Structure 1
Amino acid sequence: MTTFRSLTILTFGIGLGAGAYWAAQQPLLLLSSHLTTPAAAAGRSVLYYRDPSGAPFWSSGPKKDSQGRDYLPVYDDEEFGPPPKQKAAEASRKILYYRNPMGLPDTSPVPKKDPMGMDYIPVYEGEDTDDGLIKLSPGKIQRTGEQSEPAARRVIRTLVRAPGTIQLDERRVSVIAMRAESYVQKVADVTTGTRVTKGQPLMEIYSPAISSAAAEYLATIDSRTTGANELYDRGSKQRLLNLDVPEAVIATMRKTQTAPIAIQWSSPRDGIVLERNAVEGMRAQPGDVLFRIADISVVWALIDVAERDLGSIAVGQPVTVRARSFPGRVFDGKISVIYPQVNPQTRTARARIELTNKDFALLPDMYVDAEIETGSEEPVLAVPDNAILDTGSRQTVLIDKGEGRFEPRDVKLGRRGGHYVEVREGLKEGEAVVTSANFLIDAESNLKAALKSFAEADAPTKSQLPSGAKTVGGRK
């Protein structure tokens, strides 16, 4: 029995000695584990820098101690724990409850482990306040890559793009049609696509009605002696005009006192022959179109503007038009008409742009792309568009309050352009908004809110607690 007691005491002493030895060696092992090589540190994020002697001092950036030694970096993948100052601060704060380390909606009023053996994470007083602020540790902020930018006044210009086609100016199209039964005796050497000038001969026609009116007109000129005959003279000339006989032909008849058998028909304007139906020897009935001529020195660009952009455009705005047939070339024009109708299939409205086409490069039905710069020259309060958390019915930004505190705030938005969006309400100039990792911060906020609601719902009441149970951090 004495021998057994001696062996037990000896074994216990050896165990205590070994435990003391390993306890003494633990800081050295922990220190050596953080003396990583540059190759191992590559690609890792530094959370903070700690005192090389193990003293409770740390720094957010590289630093030397009083003996000239470099502070040691603590990386994000190391289990060294929070900085010494943070540890001291946490030791002086009350623990409200413990939450599941995997983010599950499970809390506990006392320390415990999950089924995998991981410790529940304490939630300290001040981290669970109802002031609406989101609080993150410096380590989380650095890992998420959070960035902020102050709200400032900027000029927002939005570029509205719309496709379209080139069409003829309706006011610059002429049709040559006979007003009486006629016969085409001769056609000039013009074909579809030929460019003609005003007054250029196109054809010669014979019309019994025109010949009769011409003979009557010449007879009134010869017998004109009284005022009544003068009125008759004007009436006979008007009959020729009603038959669409050109003024130049009537003047020639008056000068030569002869009525030609065939009347020469000429082009009424400069332009391009779009249609030629006149054939030598053909009989033309009243209303038959023999020639169709269009002036394309000025054309229209009919563009289809999306319904959402209609409020940004107005008549008179300058427009830049680019034809797909001429890369790099720009045609400048202005909006002349916005048609008062929206296409129910495409949800677009048509706008008309007048374009000068001096070299006739733009042809009818040619595809073009229009760009309309909209917006005011006055600067407005704006933030980057990636700072907006948009749920469809609600737009929110995260205000960076500093020291890991973020305030969600609802805003009302205006125009967008150049990767910026106008803020009309909810924000002041100079306030910093989160532009990067805002979704991660918002997710962290939602997680904390969910955990809090579950903790409040699952917290046992006094009657449910066993006798002698103690409170932890103010919670039963």
Structure 2
Amino acid sequence: MGLPDTSPVPKKDSMGMDYIPVYADEASDDAGTVRVSPARMQTLGVRTATVARGTLDAVLRASGRVEIDERAQVVVAPRFEGWIERLHVSAVGDVVRRGQPLLTAWSPALQSAGEEVRIAERLVTASAADPEARAAAARLAEAARARLASLQVAGQAAPRQTLHAPADGIVLERMATQGARFMAGEALFRIADLSRVWVIADVFERDLGRVQVGDRVAVSVDALPGQRLEGRIGYVYPTLDAGTRSTPVRIELDNRAGQLRPGMFATVDFAPGAARERLLLPASALIEDGERQVVLRALGEGRFQPQPVRIGERGREQVEVLDGIAEGDRVVVSANFLIDSESQLRAALAGMGDAPPQDYPSHDTRGVFEEAFDGGVSLSHDAIPALGWPEMTMDFSLAEPALVEGLAPGTPIRFSFEDRGPGEYVVTRIERVEGEHAGH
């Protein structure tokens, strides 16, 4: 936080903070390589592991939700209007069987259609002597029966009809109310068969290549702790959610026991593909910052070097290495972020050291040494026309602390300093002026 300074012995700065120790055996062999003493390795808790070949635990896990099988839903919506005289099933959640009565309704439209059929049939009988009249009456009767059939009353002419459940299932919605009127096409019941259900899992874009229709999966829900239900992938949807970068995957499960209820949250484990050996790296050894993927190779004798790598599939505790490191190499798995930070710092400092020195404007003047402090010195000096400075006393930085060794306050001097930027004036040379006294 203060001016740049080094010391051959431990010391504190002007704010009372300890200087950071740098040891000779920690010098880097080249830019980015770090040498750490055994004592510091023990203090930091540095641990290493060997890169080896093995089978990746690449089970893919995703979150999902239990939903109704859309193919097992039916709606009871009569094609005629009428009034509900009696409800045989009146509660949501009731279990119904195919053919079970749901409601009894009376409809004037059915009464009218029935009368048309009966009148047309009598006309057919009455016109038996006239072939042309009989044919016309037969056509009229056929049209009346077709109209009655279009109302889906199975040819019955009675105005009072009982509607039955078209399939086994559970009543999910009941819109029918006893005594209420309903219109043609109005949905009165929604029934679903829950003996099979779907689990819709959201698989991230990067993992889509690992799921295929027909693959086996294991599903677990909070309501059934310790149980894993087996299912298969029935469909991978062709769309991607741009917000979550995920695609829905449909798993079909047997639910004849009725344990799974629509709306439950589920955890889906997709089985890995064919097991094969690959080069594996502990997941804790990988350092990622959005721009690079590196590991720290242990070179022996406390030396560590950052090594860029290319990563393949990821498991729970290991990742696949495609390039950048070899089998048998040792990598850091603990305290690697601290060592990597120091490596980047030293590489940056090494790059700065290779930069050509910069030329700064230099000025020579005479003055009096007042006092020295950590990293700087207070000097009184003559006027400096080039900078528009009058005679005054001011603080300067020191290029080297040795410049003021042996100087006592009040000693006349001749010195040079460089102008290295706004407010940064660094003394580079000091000479004692013999035969002069303070206050020159």
Q: TM-score, normalised by structure 2?
A: 0.63
How many pairs align? Answer: 341
CA separation of 1:122/1:430 partners in 2, compared to 1, >3 Å: closer, same or farther?
Answer: closer
Q: TM-score, normalised by structure 1?
A: 0.59
Aligned to 1:354: 252
> SS at the partner of 2:241?
strand
Aligned-partner Cα distance in 2 for 1:127–1:320? 53
Q: CA RMSD in A?
A: 4.2
> SS at the partner of 2:237?
strand
Partner AA of 2:241 in structure 1: V
Aligned-partner Cα distance in 2 for 1:172–1:146? 59
Pick from 62, 74, 77: which aligns with 1:177?
A: 77
Judging by fraction of residues, say which structure has more helix.
1
Counterpart check, 1:242 vs 2:150: yes
- Deviations for 1:359-407, whole angstroms, at most 9, x for unmatched residues? 2222232333333345652232111112123333122222233343433
Pick from 332, 341, 364: which aligns with 2:262?
A: 364
Aligned to 1:299: 197
Counterpart check, 1:197 vs 2:97: yes
> SS at the partner of 1:353?
strand
Aligned to 2:282: 384
Q: 2:110, 2:158 within 8 Å by CA — same for their partners in 1?
A: no
1:217 is displaced (CA, Å) by 5.4
Aligned to 2:380: none
Aligned-partner Cα distance in 1 for 2:229–2:23? 67
CA separation of 1:113/1:144 partners in 2, compared to 1, >3 Å: closer, same or farther?
Answer: closer
Counterpart check, 1:342 vs 2:241: yes
> SS at the partner of 2:295?
strand
Q: 1:176, 1:289 within 8 Å by CA — same for their partners in 2?
A: yes
Q: 1:155, 1:376 within 8 Å by CA — same for their partners in 2?
A: no
Q: Which runs of 5+ in 2 are unaligned?
A: 13-18, 358-398, 400-440
Aligned to 2:109: 209
Q: 2:62, 2:202 within 8 Å by CA — same for their partners in 1?
A: yes
- Deviations for 1:227-271, whole angstroms, at most 9, x for unmatched residues? 97998877555433321224xxx4xx6xxxxx4342232110001
Q: 2:171, 2:189 within 8 Å by CA — same for their partners in 1?
A: yes
Q: Which runs of 5+ in 1 are unaligned?
A: 1-103, 254-258, 465-476
Counterpart check, 1:401 vs 2:309: no
1:354 is displaced (CA, Å) by 2.3
- Deviations for 1:392-446, whole angstroms, at most 9, x for unmatched residues? 3122222233343433311111222221111111012222222234344445545
Q: 1:106, 1:451 within 8 Å by CA — same for their partners in 2?
A: no
CA separation of 1:219/1:357 partners in 2, compared to 1, >3 Å: closer, same or farther?
Answer: farther
- Deviations for 1:288-339, whole angstroms, at most 9, x for unmatched residues? 2222222111222234445665555444443333233332333333332436
> SS at the partner of 1:239?
helix
1:156 is displaced (CA, Å) by 2.4
> SS at the partner of 1:358?
coil
Counterpart check, 1:438 vs 2:336: yes
Judging by fraction of residues, say which structure has more strand.
2
- Deviations for 1:178-206, whole angstroms, at most 9, x for unmatched residues? 22222333332553221111111222333
CA separation of 1:242/1:440 partners in 2, compared to 1, >3 Å: closer, same or farther?
Answer: same
> SS at the partner of 1:340?
coil
CA separation of 1:240/1:158 partners in 2, compared to 1, >3 Å: closer, same or farther?
Answer: farther
- Deviations for 1:94-144, whole angstroms, at most 9, x for unmatched residues? xxxxxxxxxx97679xxx55667x9x97848x9664486544455554555
Task: Within 5 Å, give how 1:66-465 maps onto structure 2.
Answer: 113=9, 123=24, 129-130=29-30, 133-141=33-41, 144-214=44-114, 237-246=145-154, 250=155, 259-306=157-204, 309-310=207-208, 312-335=210-233, 336-338=235-237, 340-342=239-241, 344=243, 348-374=246-272, 377-443=275-341, 445-446=343-344, 449=347
Q: 1:151, 1:432 within 8 Å by CA — same for their partners in 2?
A: yes
> SS at the partner of 1:386?
helix
Partner AA of 1:265 in structure 2: L
Q: 2:48, 2:332 within 8 Å by CA — same for their partners in 1?
A: yes
Q: What is the aligned-residue identity percentage?
A: 38
1:162 is displaced (CA, Å) by 3.9
Q: 1:271, 1:295 within 8 Å by CA — same for their partners in 2?
A: yes
Aligned to 1:42: none
Aligned-partner Cα distance in 2 for 1:123–1:420? 36
Aligned-partner Cα distance in 1 for 2:11–2:227? 70
